[in-house]
Amino acid sequence: MIGADEIIDMRNIRVKIAYVGTAYHGFQRQNNSMAVQNVIEGALSKLCNEPVVINGCSRTDAGVHANEYYFSFTTHSRIPCKNIVSGLNSFLPSDISAYQAEEMPEDFHARYSCKGKEYLYIIENSQAASPFLYARCWHYPYPLDITSMKDQAKCLCGTHDFSAFCGSAGIKDDNTRTVNYINIGKNDDIISIYICGDGFLYNMVRIIVGTLAEHNGEDISVTERILQSRDRNTAGITAPAGGLYLNKVMY
């Protein structure tokens, strides 16, 4: 039985990681499929020599990647934070890496303490797909005009009801979210779309990207009409998971 003094000594640790999501059924723990959370909890439990349950900063879909991801967990272990990073990496597969660990206040929670997130979506806009980018981007072989995409995206910035950009499985009573910015750039055949907001609905970023691609070159009022409709059927396709990266997490 754990005594009162041991409960007081519990540490709350935040860990920064990155991962390639191709082999995983999303971040959140699954009973019948391998998820990133399953792998990390198994590794941490070995490292700390006790059962460990982690709280992730976000759910990510199957095949989605993370350039920056945070989770938090509590532990009785006295392992120094720098050793948590090296020790955890010794148990993790090569497609998941830990970069930083730090002690946080008792009330810190990786998800609920988060103030905002930035996602990156990568489109390879070329006739032939690069094999080196397989499952790391959306290969889109048709012409895309990023000036048109930027114009279409302007109306999505701000606070709106994003029901039209939400997958049916994620519909909630309140689908209002704030998008701080959508920045779109192109370097050779690679189009990078950065979307930052206070929170995102299920498949929201992927539907926004699919809509910008599908209505590329059309009147700039099209996206605004889709937004105002609050109807998912009016929006474009859901862009593939492999092009999406959780890029930054704000606390």
Give whole-number Cα distances, 76 to 14, 37, 41, 44, 84, in Å: 14, 20, 15, 12, 13
Condensed to tens digits (0 to 9), the pLDDT of residues 189-218 reads 999 999 999 999 999 999 999 999 999 988
Question: 174 an active-site residue?
Answer: no
Q: Look up the pTM and report it.
A: 0.93
Q: Where in the chain is the domain with CATH 3.30.70.580?
A: 4-104
For 116-250, the fitting CATH number among 3.30.70.660, 3.30.1490.100, 3.30.360.10, 3.90.550.10 is: 3.30.70.660
**Tens digit of each residue's pLDDT (9 = 90 or more) over 121-139:** 999 999 999 999 999 999 9
pLDDT value of residue 172: 67
Both structure tokens of 249 = 């997490």
Give pLDDT tens digits for 153-199: 999 999 999 999 998 765 667 899 999 999 999 999 999 999 999 99
Contact 79, 86 (CB under 8 A): no
Selected from 3.30.310.220, 3.10.20.30, 3.40.309.10, 3.30.70.580, the CATH number assigned to the domain covering 4-104 reads 3.30.70.580
What's the confidence (pLDDT) of residue 9?
A: 83
- Between the CA of residue 94 and those of 127, 136, 201, 231, what are the distances in Å? 31, 16, 30, 41
Q: Are 239 and 144 in contact (CB under 8 A)?
A: no
Q: What is the pLDDT of residue 114?
A: 97
Q: Which of 5, 61, 145, 188 is catalytic?
A: 61
pLDDT digits (tens, 9 = 90+) for 51-74: 999 999 999 999 999 999 999 999
pLDDT at position 1, please? 44
